[in-house]
Amino acid sequence: MATTEEQLILTANPSFLDLAVSELQEIGTILAQQSLADDVLLLTLAESFWEVAEPWRLAPPIFPHHICPVQSRVALRAQTNTDLAILQQTLASELLDLLDPTLPLSVQSRILTTLPYKPFDINRTLSTYIHQQLGVPIDVRAPHQVLSVVCADWQRHTENKAQTTAFLGVSPTVYNLSDWAGGMRRFAREEGQISRAEFKLLEALEYFHLALPARGVALDLGASPGGWTRVLRQHDQYVTAVDPGELDPRIGKDRGVRHKRMTAEEYLANDPDRFDLIVNDMRMDARDSARLMVAYVQQLYRSGRVLMTLKLPEENRRPILEHALQILQEAYRITGARQLFHNRSEITILLEPLAG
């Protein structure tokens, strides 16, 4: 059934869902809010999806991972063949005309309740139907438009019992904040991987479109055990890894890595080299980490960049974050800030030094 309300589905880290909602309230008016999962909200707005999505396309928010419009919703029966037929019929009658036959498409499904089928089954059924009807090219890795399908238990305000419901919507990928369903960017675990923290750096490089210079020089602060150093080496960087702790032996043997067994403060006091990139994933107060990076600005080439995480506590997160960003702005321009899918109680910041 086509919806008459203006609704969208917002996904964020459960620990930061309140801050994601606050960011939306800065540009829109929330009339109703219902939880579909720990990290997923169904929001009814006074504005259209596009009136919210366009400002965020131009200036992406920090905390929301993903948004998608709700243009249709339909009750499901928890029977595989029946439900797939219901979804295909809903697509045919209400959403097919919204698709551009010339643009690559991905069907992105999420199931937030117990059903006898998987997102793959929905994706395959609907993408096959769309391709047959319109000839739309299917591209799950680089789509220009997305059909979002979210299946969840949902209770209308006028009803006493939740009903398993599918929420569907079509949108250009650039309006969803992420190319991936729910913003869940996953990477395959590689042979030789040192730590899961590598995924965080991989996602940051991709999200910020950060192209590293060929045979560049990078500084990894708080490098142990060496996951970020490994990723930087894969990107053709010569790395100075600073940490009192040990590096994984595979990194320690790499001639493109220089290990300084000392703290970041001690290394700075030794008049270090200059770098194309400084990365910092150290566990320290966000404000102290910001002050440290201000001190390190002289160690960056003018064209250099800083990629760092800011660790945030459970309480008073917003004022602490704002204070840390204010400190960083003494020496840097903040070119990106994002609570990435692979971040935990932190956000990732991209910085460039101020001219001067």
Structural tokens at position 298:
């002289």
Domain's final residue, options 183, 210, 243: 183
- CA dist list (Å): 270 to 219, 257, 260, 291, 300: 14, 18, 11, 18, 15
* pLDDT tens digits, one per residue of 226-241: 999 999 999 999 999 9
pLDDT greater than 90 at residue 3: no
Is residue 344 a part of any domain in this protein?
yes
**Whether 161 is catalytic:** no
Specify the residue for token string 């697509």. Answer: 91
330/275 Cα distance (integer angstroms): 20
pLDDT greater than 70 at residue 4: no
Query: For 92-101, 189-198, 206-215, 246-255, which range has the lowest pLDDT when averaged over its residues?
Result: 189-198
Mark whether 166 and 241 lie in a shared domain.
no
Query: Mean per-residue pLDDT for 181-196?
Result: 90
* pLDDT tens digits, one per residue of 24-59: 999 999 999 999 999 999 999 999 999 999 999 999
Residue 193 is predicted with a pLDDT of: 86
Specify the residue for token string 């595989």. Answer: 80
Mark whether 32 and 132 lie in a shared domain.
yes
172/191 Cα distance (integer angstroms): 35
Domain range enclosing 29: 2-183
Mark whether 15 and 128 lie in a shared domain.
yes
Specify the residue for token string 């006898």. Answer: 116
pLDDT band for 271, please (50, 70, 90 cuts).
confident
Contact 42, 7 (CB under 8 A): yes
pLDDT above 90 covers a percentage of the chain that reads: 91
Mark whether 203 and 178 lie in a shared domain.
no
pLDDT above 70 covers a percentage of the chain that reads: 98
Contact 274, 300 (CB under 8 A): yes
pLDDT band for 355, please (50, 70, 90 cuts).
confident
Mark whether 86 and 207 lie in a shared domain.
no
Query: Mean per-residue pLDDT for 260-265?
Result: 96
Is residue 192 a part of any domain in this protein?
no
Mark whether 142 and 235 lie in a shared domain.
no
Structural tokens at position 129:
């139907």
Mark whether 172 and 265 lie in a shared domain.
no
53/67 Cα distance (integer angstroms): 8
Mark whether 81 and 143 lie in a shared domain.
yes
Is residue 153 a part of any domain in this protein?
yes
Is residue 71 a part of any domain in this protein?
yes
Is residue 190 a part of any domain in this protein?
no
Catalytic hit among 118, 161, 260, 311? 311
pLDDT band for 192, please (50, 70, 90 cuts).
confident
pTM of the model: 0.94
Q: What phi, psi does 15 have (nearest 5°)?
A: -70, -20
Our count of domains for the chain comes to 2
Is residue 42 a part of any domain in this protein?
yes
140/202 Cα distance (integer angstroms): 19
pLDDT greater than 90 at residue 214: yes
Mark whether 161 and 213 lie in a shared domain.
no
What 3 state SS string does the chain have?
CEEEEEEEEEEECHHHHHHHHHHHHCCCCEEEEEEEECCEEEEEECCCHHHHHHHHHHCCCCCEEEEEEEEEEEECCCCHHHHHHHHHHHHHHHHHHHCCCCCCEEEEEEECCCCCCCHHHHHHHHHHHHHHHHCCCECCCCCCEEEEEEEEEECCCCCCCCEEEEEEEEEEHHHCCCCCHHHCCCCCCCCCCCCCHHHHHHHHHHHCCCCCCCCEEEEEECCCCCHHHHHHHHCCEEEEEECCCCCCHHHHCCCCEEEECCCHHHHHHCCCCCEEEEEECCCCEHHHHHHHHHHHHHHEEEEEEEEEEEECCCCCHHHHHHHHHHHHCCCEEEEEEECCCCCCCEEEEEEEECCC
